[in-house]
Amino acid sequence: MDLQTLTYVVVGFTFAIYIGIAVWARAGSTSEFYVAGGGVHPVTNGMATAADWMSAASFISMAGLISNMGYGGAVFLMGWTGGYVLLAMLLAPYLRKFGKFTVPEFIGDRFYSKGARNVAVLCLLVASLTYIIGQMTGVGVTFARFLGVTSDQGIYIGMAIVFAYAVFGGMKGITYTQVAQYIVLILAYLVPAFFISLNLTGNFLPQLGLGSSIAGTDVSLLTKLDQVVTDLGFGQYTTTAAGSTLNMMFYTISLMIGTAGLPHVIVRFFTVPKVADARASAGWALVFIALLYTTAPAVGAMAKLNLHGTVNSAVGLVSDADGRLGVNPEAVKANADVYATENSLVYEQRPDWMKRWERTGLLKWEDKNGDGRIQYYNDKTKNEVAKGKAEAAGWKGNELTVNADIIVLANPEIALLPNWVIALVAAGGLAAALSTAAGLLLAISSAISHDLIKGAIKPDISEKGELMAGKIAMAVAIFVAGWLGLNPPGFAAGTVALAFGIAASTIFPALMMGIFSRTMSDKGAVAGMLAGLFVTLFYVFAHKGIFFIPGTAYVEMVGGVNGFFTITPEAFGTVGAITNFVVAFLVNKITAPAPKHIQELVESVRVPKGAGVATGGH
């Protein structure tokens, strides 16, 4: 069976499973629609949470980012996994004990204010809609490459699939669909990683293969990769940082607290029967997430080695008929003519995988010197040796543009793995994007139907009416998400990181103060959320030159190459969170504290029943 047909079969089979589960587990009440009836087992919830969390960004983009950034890519591993520790320890059990359906509902009740609830809805919608752009883009990319349709057509198909199981199933249908999607995506991620690690190092576990030697040599994989990238003018893979130390720290913190503040992840902890189950769910989610996250660094490194080995033979690697990489000690030569030919690839002889990915627009070639060969190197390098050799060979700049998003999806093709593995990866990429899109859409739907319509506009709406409103809101949200995927805004390149920044600067501080500060007032919480949201969005847009004329002194200060104190927009969520806390406590100092019954409520949520009885405490 050819690759195209096999991909249709595998992807179609997984879609049939998702829709079948949704029909079986369709929601019949608002409780089932919002929180799956509150009866999901912790292990099941942990697996569903992992699928909800591991979006197209985790499956498709993270290894690509690590591949491009090297050591600096550790911010994603530390930030995204560390966020779950915060969520498990500081938020999940207390929010579950409070016993509400949504994050805005908790904020509205805790801060005894419809205004606080409405501001929380605003922050939730901004964060969720920003995040969902990346998911729809991932759906379009995957469909475009593997199913022979355009990216736009892929987004339409993705919208239809999500509509089929999310609108009718609600949280109940989404939960069990996400369990199936987790199984698909983790197999799709691990199976090719096992193959490639075995081919490169002789060790089938990629976590161990990353630290092993290349098969048949005494040279470690990372040592060889460092040599490869520096020969091409890039920084060392194992030492390159993500900007300044301050930026790397702020970026990690922003991802951590942004993770803990994402509403579509938090709502998963409302679906379990008991408070203890919420903490157990977070633990199981970490286990399931770790299977992918501990594999991602190896996938990124091995993909980079495979890619350079294909395009630039002089990096010291050649592929034999089995797709196994071996050492070519004669590859690098001083003679410019030899360098020009052995360090590049004849365009007409490019492998099939490059031809296929060129059709997606994520792989582009421009023949800058007219020699009909592909030259791939860092033409902005400060490495004078690498630059001198390239110029002596007649090269006029890097000619190949490789989008980081193709690294995971193209890796099995680059390594010449079997067609069934490639088809499985396509199904996994779609499962990752669709599972997170469904979770985000439910969070948006719940905010509109439960928090806006029932909470503010029509409090006396019947349960049947609220359920219908939720389904209509879900359908509208799918349409809006699809439109944003088809027409992404100008700042879409960093949408996932921006979503984390918004959650970090608005929702996370409000939840923390709502749980751990008895006296925090409604006015303080609202002022803090609005300040955090404004500061974060202002910095991101100013960095893009949207608010000011490019070239003015202010844009150079805020939106220049280094940004404010070298902090990039993706890392600015930490500054937004600090602003939120500071403004909230300052406003709280000059306004009346929370009423006594709210302080007692906060105390009852934090302190277990019967605490202090054994020792006579109160």
User: Is position 287 within any domain?
Assistant: yes
User: Is position 572 within any domain?
Assistant: yes
Q: What is the pTM of this model?
A: 0.81
User: Is position 611 within any domain?
Assistant: no
What average pLDDT is seen over the chain?
A: 81
* Position 333 pLDDT exceeds 70: no
Q: Is the dihedral of CA 10, 421, 183, 494 positive or negative?
A: negative
What DSSP assignment string belongs to 463-505? HHHHHHHHHHHHHHHHHHHHHHHHS--TTGGGHHHHHHHHHHH
Per the CB < 8 A criterion, the answer to whether 35 and 175 are in contact is no
Q: Which 3 state secondary structure label does DSSP give 202?
A: coil
Containing structural domain, residue 346: 302-404
Give the pLDDT band (50/70/90) at residue 549.
Answer: very low
Q: What is the mean pLDDT of residues 334-350?
A: 71
Q: What is the mean pLDDT of residues 375-392?
A: 80
pLDDT at position 545:
53
Which residues does 357 contact at the CB level (< 8 Å), separation at least 6?
145, 363, 406, 410
| Residue that finishes a domain, picked among 404, 432, 458 | 404
* Position 334 pLDDT exceeds 50: no
Give the pLDDT band (50/70/90) at residue 337.
Answer: low
What CATH number should be reported for the domain holding residue 450? 1.20.1730.10
* Position 555 pLDDT exceeds 70: no
Give the pLDDT band (50/70/90) at residue 588.
Answer: very high
Burial label, 352 (beta-carbon count in 10 A; 0-12, 13-18, 19+): exposed
- Tokens matching residue 196: 């490639």
Tally of structural domains, the chain:
2
User: Is position 614 within any domain?
Assistant: no
pLDDT at position 43:
93
Least confident of 32-46, 125-139, 184-198, 445-459: 125-139
Give the pLDDT band (50/70/90) at residue 551.
Answer: very low
> Does residue 511 sit in the same domain as residue 543?
yes
Task: Write down how long the chain is.
Answer: 618
Residue 458's φ and ψ, nearest 5 degrees, are -140, 80
> Does residue 249 sit in the same domain as residue 159?
yes
> Where are the alpha helices (H) located in 295-351, listed in sequence order?
296-311, 336-342
User: DSSP code of 219?
Assistant: S
User: Is position 77 within any domain?
Assistant: yes
> Does residue 191 sit in the same domain as residue 56?
yes
Burial label, 329 (beta-carbon count in 10 A; 0-12, 13-18, 19+): exposed
| Residue that finishes a domain, picked among 372, 404, 436 | 404
pLDDT digits (tens, 9 = 90+) for 110-128: 999 889 999 999 998 888 8
- Tokens matching residue 536: 């974060």
Nearest CA among 54, 44, 71, 61 for reference residue 439: 54
pLDDT digits (tens, 9 = 90+) for 74-84: 788 888 888 88
User: Is position 384 within any domain?
Assistant: yes
pLDDT at position 565:
66
Q: What is the mean pLDDT of residues 589-613?
A: 78
> Does residue 73 sit in the same domain as residue 153?
yes
Per the CB < 8 A criterion, the answer to whether 70 and 414 are in contact is no
Per the CB < 8 A criterion, the answer to whether 225 and 312 are in contact is no
pLDDT at position 529:
96
pLDDT digits (tens, 9 = 90+) for 155-171: 888 888 888 777 777 88
User: Is position 615 within any domain?
Assistant: no
* Position 317 pLDDT exceeds 70: no
> Does residue 236 sit in the same domain as residue 266?
yes
> Does residue 439 sit in the same domain as residue 537?
yes
567/545 Cα distance (integer angstroms)? 16
pLDDT digits (tens, 9 = 90+) for 393-414: 888 888 888 877 777 788 888 8
* Position 581 pLDDT exceeds 80: yes
Return the bridge partners of 400, or none. Answer: 365
pLDDT at position 500:
85
> Does residue 263 sit in the same domain as residue 250?
yes
| Residue that finishes a domain, picked among 349, 371, 404 | 404
**Which amino acid belongs to residue 411?**
N
